[in-house]
Amino acid sequence: MSLKLDFKMIKTKFFAIYSFLKVKRITSMVEKITTHQSEEDFRNKDILIYVNGEIVPRDKATISVYDSGFMLGDGIWEGLRLYNGKWIFLEEHLDRLFEAALAIDLNIGLDRNEVRGALEDTRLANDMHTDVHVRIMLTRGTKTTPSQDPRLLLSGPNLVIIAEHKKASKESSLKGITLFTSAVRRGSPDYLDPRMNCHSKIHEVQALVQALEAGCDEALMLDVRGFVSTCNATNFFVVRKGEVWTSTGAYCMNGITRGNVIHICEQEGIVCRQKDFSLFDTYAANEAFVTGSFGGLTPVTKIDGRDISSSSGPVTQRLQRLYQELIAHEAS
C-alpha cells in the first residue's frame, strides 16, 4: 500500500515538474526577439483586406478550404513596405512576384499596373500612409477536390492583400539576435529553387523550430554542400577584417534588401564578397548581421553559443545608416 502511494506521489510530482518546465520553455520561446518584431498597433484589429478584387473587413476575409495554397502550398507571396505614401522598391518586388509565377506556370490574372492598383486600393481603403507592411498572397485557385492536379480548379487564381500598420521595433536592431545552425539544409534549385517565395515554407519553419528549441531567435541554414547559405526568414552576412561576406546566392532567397546592401557596399567602396564560406569562417567573424524587407539590417550577437559582438559593430552600424538613407531617398 505504501509503495503504491509513494509511486502515485512520485508520478504526481513528475507531471507537475514536467508541466512547469514545458510552460517555462514555451514562455521563453515567446519572449525571444525576432527580425519581424513590431510595435503593437490597435488599428490592425479593424483593417480591410483585399480578396479577389473586393475589400472586406478583417473578420469577413475568407478563402475556401479547397484553396490550393491551403491544401498544397501551391502559391507564391511577396512582402513589402510603405513609407511616406510610397511603396519601397515596388518594382523589384513585382519582378520577383511575376518571375515566381512564371516558374510555377501560375497565371496571376493581373498585369503589373493592375497589381499596383490593387495595392493602392487596399492602402486607400485603410487610410494608410507610412510604416505599413503588406503581404501579397497568390494561389493557383480553388480546387474541385483535394488533389495536386492543377487542372482540377473550380476558379482561380486567388489573390489576397493584407496591409497592416507595422512599425519595426527598435529592440532587435539595437540588441541584436542570436542564431542556431539548423540541421535542415537549403535545397538545390533542381529540388525547390530557394529564390522562389512560395507558400511551401515548411523547411524554414522546421529550421526555426530547432532554433527556438535551442533558445535562439532565428535559424542559420547551410546549403546541401555544407556552406553557410542564409537564415530561415532573412539573408545572412558576416564581416571579417573589414570585408563583408555573404553567400553566392545560389541557395538563398534573392532578397531585395540583400541586393541593396551589396549595391551600397559597391557604391561606398566597402569590399563585399559573394562566396562560399563555412561555419569555421563564421565563428571567427568580427561582426554578423541579417537583412530583410521588414527589419532592414539586424545585428547578430551570438551564433551557436559563440559570441560575435555585444551589439552592432562599426561596419554594421555604417551599413544600417546607409540603408536608412536609401529608404528615405526612395520615400521622398
Q: 3-state DSSP call for residue 298?
A: strand
If DSSP codes are grouped into helix, strand and coil, which group holds residue 274? strand
Residue of 122, 132, 140, 117 lying closest to 79 (CA atoms): 132
Give the span between the Cα atoms of 236 and 255, in whole angstroms: 10
Confidence of residue 37 (pLDDT cuts 50, 70, 90): low
In CATH terms, the fold of domain 42-165 is D-amino Acid Aminotransferase; Chain A, domain 1 (3.30.470)
Q: At a CB cut-off of 8 Å and minimum separation 6, what does 224 contact? A: 185, 186, 187, 188, 251
Q: For 140-175, give the DSSP string.
A: S-EESSS-S-TT-EEE--EEEEEEEE-PBPHHHHHH
Q: Tell whether omega for the bond before 194 is within 30 degrees of 0, i.e. cis.
A: no
Provide the residue count of the chain. 332
pLDDT top residue among 157 and 35 = 157
| Mean pLDDT, the chain, whole residue set | 90
First to last CA, the chain: 80
Q: What mean pLDDT comes out for the span 92-112?
A: 95
Query: Residue 18 pLDDT > 50, yes or no?
Result: no
Q: What is the pLDDT of residues 251-285, one digit of tens each?
A: 999 999 999 999 999 999 999 999 999 999 999 99
What are the structural domain ranges in the chain?
42-165, 170-330
Which architecture does CATH list for 170-330? Alpha-Beta Barrel (3.20)
